[in-house]
Amino acid sequence: MKKIQRTLLLASLFIWHIVVKADWPNWRGPSYNGAAQGQFTYPSTFNSEIGVKWVLDLTGSSASTPIIVGDKVFLSGTYIPEDKEGKPQLLAMSIDRKTGKLLWSQKAGTGYQPGKLDGTPVQLDSRSNYSSPSPVATDELVVFFYGNGDLVGYKHDGDLLWIRNIQKDYGDFCFQWTFSASPTIYKGRLYLPVLQRDEQVHGRGRLNAESFLLCIELSSGETIWKHVRNTPSRKESREAFSTIIPHKDQLLVAGGDFLTAHDPKDGKELWRWGTWNPGHKQEWWRLVPSPVAGAGRVLVCAPKNAPVYAISPLSKENSAELAWDTGSEKSITSDVPTPLFFEDYFYILSDLRKNLTKVSPTDGSVIWKTDLPGKYKWRSSPTAADGKIFLMNHNAEVLVVSSQNGLILNSAKMGGDYDDLTRSSIALSDGQVYIRTNKKLYCIE
């Protein structure tokens, strides 16, 4: 009897461990849709002093989202010396999630400087920097990607596994703005999209550049396959800053005026839907939001006040069709934030119209719509857990919104008085809220 009881106890502990494990291993969370897992209570009343478990001072700004796996938080960042005499650096960091103590900080990167850049090792334009992509992690390793093409793999203890530069390997990027797509890990492989122009931009890049997807071996950093993704789109409309989203054993990719699905084994294109740019007449429609999937639909956002489209994949025919769009609802659009799928509904954050809308996946009907306060843009992609939706604007003001009725439950000023361009999304794990501002990383409990 005691042996049976012990076996049952061990089994229950194993099941409990699976249920409560609620990591945030990539920038859109464990299900790639912005929603946390596990039955945890998350705080709705906090600010920069109330509810703070710990806070870590950062040495430079970044748009990367905190990544939480086990007892560690991983974060991309920059070191910008105040005296301007030191050399700016791209950083890979690991933080103890219990105490907020910095476990290690590595000066990541190969030092590769492509083309006619401005000479600084961390920045290409005034709106962002090379550390904008979020890291991605498994239980054993973490991978950091940077906008200058540096891709670096570490063990959890900070030991370097491998390092390479995508521009050095496949040619200089052709982007008007700093490239910031985050990598994805799916079934033990690393995936990265490079959707770019086929011409030089401001003297950078090269003619006839290809847009492509990469599949990379996690343990070695070596390329498993490269798939060229063709598109008839032109100029800036070829550029995408979106992330690959796995869904039902397909890789969803948005950019170049199309939504495509690919086989993870070899990158083969399975189906294609589009375009939101008829005749490809618009030449300046770069794409920022990633796709999001749920309830038999895939949402893809067209840029600059264009509609949001809900696509219905047809797996038997390896094709897809339009289920509905928000064209009749002019205020429902997203130029930068990626939508959220949570509790069987989609939530669309409009940075241009300053509202958050809950819509039905079946037909796109509006459940509620909430206007957002302030003068700053709300561009961080929404995340959710425990009936709450978490948003942050450029000024590092954080809102907690009820997923049931759209009421604003809390507003917290987390950044400095004159902070701007705060772009990190909020990460959620085990009842804790991780907020990255320009100068600090907060853990709220």
pLDDT digits 0-9 by tens, 152-200: 999 999 999 999 999 999 999 999 999 999 999 999 999 999 999 999 9
DSSP notation for 59-77:
SS---PPPEEETTEEEEEE
Could you report the per-residue pLDDT of 308-338, keeping only the tens digit for each? 999 999 877 788 999 999 999 999 999 999 9
Q: What is the mean pLDDT of residues 59-88?
A: 91
* pLDDT of 15: 40
Round to whole Å and give the CA distance between 298 and 260. Answer: 11
* pLDDT of 10: 45
* pLDDT of 12: 43
Round to whole Å and give the CA distance between 401 and 419. Answer: 22
* pLDDT of 19: 42
Q: Is 390 helix (H, G, I), strand (E, B) or coil?
A: strand
* pLDDT of 160: 97
Tokens of 142: 């973490």
Q: What is the mean pLDDT of residues 284-297?
A: 98
* pLDDT of 420: 83
| Residue whose pair of structure tokens reads 């809308």 in the numeric block | 357
Dihedral sign of CA atoms 135, 104, 121, 128 in order: positive
* pLDDT of 152: 97
* pLDDT of 114: 63
- Nearest Cα neighbor of 434 from 43, 131, 130 is 43
Q: In 218-354, at which residue ranges do the beta strands (DSSP E only) sit?
A: 223-228, 245-247, 250-255, 258-262, 269-273, 292-294, 297-301, 308-314, 319-325, 340-342, 345-350
- Confidence class of residue 21 from pLDDT cuts 50, 70 and 90? low
Could you report the per-residue pLDDT of 122-131, keeping only the tens digit for each? 877 778 899 9
Q: What are the boundaries of each domain within the chain?
A: 24-444
Q: What is the mean pLDDT of residues 292-319?
A: 93
* pLDDT of 18: 41
- Confidence class of residue 120 from pLDDT cuts 50, 70 and 90? low
Q: Which of 3-7, 199-203, 309-313, 396-400 has the lowest mean pLDDT?
A: 3-7
Q: What's the whole-model pTM score?
A: 0.93
Q: Which CATH fold would you assign to the domain 24-444?
A: Methylamine Dehydrogenase; Chain H (2.130.10)
Q: Is 56 helix (H, G, I), strand (E, B) or coil?
A: strand
Tokens of 296: 């038999």
Q: Is 435 helix (H, G, I), strand (E, B) or coil?
A: strand
Mean pLDDT of the chain: 92
| Residues 54 and 100: beta-carbon distance below 8 Å | yes
Tokens of 393: 């604007």
